[in-house]
């Protein structure tokens, strides 16, 4: 993209925009530029590989999408794994299985139960995921 600075600026705006007319006008601009501004092979590449899956990458179609609508994501598991390693396993990467099971059953699980009870009694607010899930169910 070093040889096509105008194109690079437009692509950066294009993928992030939340305005449908801006998205459409940038796409029109990309398709109508001369070869020295936008190579025809790049337009063909976009048409072949990206324009048939616009909802997966364009900002305009991801505005109101919630994490609970993503059925194929492993992001929540990754966050859980990170918290498990950094908080409950004291930053240690490798643990014996017996120590891991002990930590999960005797330390982590009771902590989650207490947090849930506190949330139910109103002493603690819901975490963001629980709060959003409750809003969606209303």
pLDDT tens by residue, 43-59: 999 999 999 988 888 88
Q: What pLDDT shows up at residue 69?
A: 57
Q: For residue 128, what are the contacts with CB-CB under 8 A and spacing of at least 6? A: none
* Better-predicted residue by pLDDT, 27 or 131: 27
Asked whether the predicted pLDDT for residue 39 surpasses 80, the reply is yes
Asked whether the predicted pLDDT for residue 73 surpasses 80, the reply is no
Q: What pLDDT shows up at residue 48?
A: 94
Tokens of 122: 């109103």
pLDDT in tens, 4-15: 888 988 998 898
- 38/118 Cα distance (integer angstroms): 58
41 pLDDT tier (thresholds 50, 70, 90):
very high
* Better-predicted residue by pLDDT, 82 or 93: 82
As a whole-number percent, the residues of the chain with pLDDT over 70 amount to: 87
Tell me the average pLDDT of the chain: 82
Average pLDDT of the segment spanning 31-54? 92
Average pLDDT of the segment spanning 61-65? 68
Q: What pLDDT shows up at residue 97?
A: 83
Q: Where are the domains of the chain?
A: 5-61, 75-137
Burial of 37 (0-12, 13-18, 19+ CB in 10 A): middle
70 pLDDT tier (thresholds 50, 70, 90):
low
Compute, in degrees rounded to 10, the torsion defined by CA atoms 67, 69, 74, 79: 20
């Amino acid at each position: 993209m070093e040889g096509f600075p105008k194109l690079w600026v437009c692509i950066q705006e294009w993928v992030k925009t939340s305005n449908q007319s801006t998205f459409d006008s940038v796409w029109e601009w990309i398709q109508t530029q001369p070869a020295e501004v936008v190579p025809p092979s790049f337009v063909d590449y976009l048409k072949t590989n990206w324009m048939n899956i616009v909802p997966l990458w364009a900002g305009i179609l991801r505005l109101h999408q919630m994490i609970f609508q993503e059925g194929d994501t492993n992001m929540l598991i990754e966050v859980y794994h990170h918290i498990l390693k950094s908080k409950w396993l004291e930053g240690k990467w490798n643990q014996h299985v017996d120590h891991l099971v002990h930590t999960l059953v005797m330390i982590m699980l009771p902590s989650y139960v207490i947090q849930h009870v506190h949330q139910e009694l109103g002493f603690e607010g819901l975490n963001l995921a629980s709060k959003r899930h409750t809003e969606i169910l209303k």
